[in-house]
Amino acid sequence: VQLVESGGGLVQPGGSLRLSCAGSGFSIENYSVTWVRQAPGKNLEWVSTFFSDGNKVTYADSVKGRFTMSRDIAKNTVFLQMNSLKFEDTALYYCATDPTAPAFDGGTWYLSKYHFRYWGQGTQVTVSS
């Protein structure tokens, strides 16, 4: 299983970015995929999960209404569309998967690196004026 993120960059407050997470060695139709972020000096924070059945996407309270997760089954890729970006969204964004990991539905959750078995290398998002 491999995950490769892309799409990060520098953006002004209020701007938008779209992150991609390309998977290999597994199918996103069978594994839920999650976005997790880590701001400088802070713990890993759950952002969003796209459930494998395709019928449910959940978001942390801090991003609900601003971020949208989607997927392209043909490309085995998930996306995170981030709008109305804020300074506090600055972080290294990872995608992760693990068929045995508990799922989240709203709220604020901080994770350890052991929560998911498979992680990408991360893509940096910096929100700055």
- Mean local confidence (pLDDT), 37-56: 94
Amino acid at residue number 68: T
Q: State the first-to-last Cα distance of the chain, in angstroms, to the nearest integer.
A: 37
- Rounded Cα distance between 40 and 57, Å, is 26
The whole-number pLDDT of residue 103 equals 85
Per-residue confidence (pLDDT) for residue 102, from 0 to 100: 85
Band of the pLDDT at 54, cuts 50, 70, 90? confident
Look at residue 59 and tell me whether its pLDDT is greater than 90: yes
Mean pLDDT for 56-78 is 97
At residue 55 the predicted structure's pLDDT band, cuts being 50, 70 and 90, is: confident
pLDDT band with cut points at 50, 70 and 90 for residue 112: very high
10: pLDDT strictly greater than 90 = yes
Tens of pLDDT, residue by residue over 95-104, are: 999 988 888 9
Mean pLDDT within 102-118: 92
Confidence grade of residue 88 (pLDDT, cut at 50, 70, 90): very high
pLDDT at 56: 93
Under 8 Å between Cβ of 30 and 98: no
- Residues of the chain by 3-state class (helix, strand, coil), percent to 5: 0, 45, 50
Distance of CA 93 to the CA centre of its chain: 6
In total, the chain counts a number of residues equal to 129
